[in-house]
Amino acid sequence: MSIITLRESITQALREEMARDEDVFIMGCDVGLRGNPFGITKGLMNEFGEKRVIDTPISEAAFTGLGVGAAIAGMRPLVEILYCDWLTLPMDNIVNTAAKTSYMFGGQANVPIVIRAPFGVGGGVAAQHSQNNENWFVHVPGLKVIAPSTPYDMKGLLKSAIRDNNPVMCFEHKRNYSIKGEVPDGEYTIPIGKANIRKQGTDCTIVTYSYMTYVAEAAAAELEKDGISCEVIDLRSLLPLDYETVMDSVKKTSRVVVVTEAPLRGSIAGEIVGEILDRGFDLLDAPPQRVGSKNSPVAYNEGLEALCTPKKEDIIAAVRKTFE
């Protein structure tokens, strides 16, 4: 075991998979010489050459399209979008080509591409560098979506994503990059679509993912002091989503709070609550609660930025509400 940052866990996954499979290559703005703004791909261009770590022009629509086409032709591209906010630019290539090619072509082609995108609120980078757009992609049949929160999960899931024959969107919360955790020294992968129970509990289930996992854990720790035992589920994958683990927990606790950092309106929190009701309305002792960001663009000003996202107190209040 080594203790590394989540940022380093991504670098390790990329390096190992590039060494393992010559079809794996990276493309994106500043991924080569600069090694990406967070230093994640630093050194990889020297190690693997300019044709496997490709610095692109600022043409997200087309370079993602090139990646999609290279995947259709049999490569395993890792396309990096500097901030998930700019996924709007290659949206057509993701939604209409990557997600639909296998189906439209009757299985003649697969699109084994991974699109990595930093996301989430924090750092005063305002409305076009702070969004949580992961929800949009959960709505698209043909895609897979992962959003791991720990170095261990990130490395294992990213390796699985690279080996997966489907297009996978990988959302990396910017606030998670410096989080440290234990990672095995040897080879391992984590299957896409399996949630992780971060904390066992008996009274209320908190379902969440990515950075909000840490906020939820802090809320659960505080509630524990008051005798409320929360089970915290880190989904890790949003599509497919591990409803078995969620429902097993709800069976045990009879209460559920779903937490996302995305603006609540139209978010995955509502979708998860809907699915829980479909699968087990009778299991519940209280109406399920949703916690998400305010329905607002993210502000530059620190106070306004902070006001936008869910806090520990919001989650605590939501859990308490299930006991009213």
Partner 1 sequence: MKNTNCIEEIKKEFDAYAEMYVPEGLDREEQLRMYSIMWLMRKFEEAVKPLWMANKVHGYYHPYITEEAIATGIITQLKKSDYVGSTHRGHGHLIAKGGDINKMMAELFGKEEGYNKGRGGSMHISDMSIGMLGATGIVGAATAPAVGSALKSWIKGTDDVTVVFFGDGGSNAGSICEAMNMAAAWKLPVVFVCENNQWAIATDIARVTGEPDLYKRGTGFGIPSCRVDGFNIYQIWDTAKTAIARARAGEGPSFIECKTMRMLGHHATDDSWYRDMSVCDKYWEIEPIKRMGEFLVGNKIATQEELDAIEADAMKQVEASIDYADNQCHEPSLDTFYDYIYADGEVIK
Q: Which residues lie near partner 1 (CB under 8 A)? A: 25, 51-52, 56-57, 59, 61-75, 77, 92-93, 96-97, 101-110, 112, 141-142, 144, 164-166, 239-240
CB of 79 to partner 1, least distance (A): 10
Catalytic residue, from 8, 17, 80, 129: name it. Answer: 129
Using CA atoms, how far residue 117 sits from 56, 217, 302, in Å, is: 16, 24, 23
The CB-of-242 to partner 1 minimum distance in angstroms stands at 12
Judged by beta carbon, residue 91 or residue 299, the one nearer partner 1 is 91
Residue number with CB closer to partner 1 (35 or 167): 167
Beta bridge partners of 120: none
| Alpha-helical segments (H) within the chain | 6-20, 44-48, 60-72, 91-92, 101-104, 134-138, 151-163, 211-225, 243-253, 268-280, 302-308, 312-321
Q: Is 139 a catalytic residue?
A: no
Phi, psi (deg, nearest 5) at residue 71 = -65, -45
Q: What phi and psi values does residue 23 have, to the nearest 5 degrees? A: -80, -10
Strands 24-28 and 76-80: parallel
Q: With beta carbons less than 8 A apart as the criterion, state whether 252 and 313 touch.
A: no
Map tokens 């297009």 to a residue: 167
Task: For residues 24 and 21, give the distance between their C-alpha atoms in angstroms, rounded to a whole number.
Answer: 6
Minimum distance of partner 1 from residue 101's CB (angstroms): 7
Instruction: Confirm whether 8 is a catalytic residue.
Output: no
Least distance to partner 1, CB of residue 253, Å: 26
Q: 60, 134, 217, 231: which one is catalytic?
A: 60
Which pair of structure tokens corresponds to residue 314?
């919001």
Catalytic center residues: 60, 129
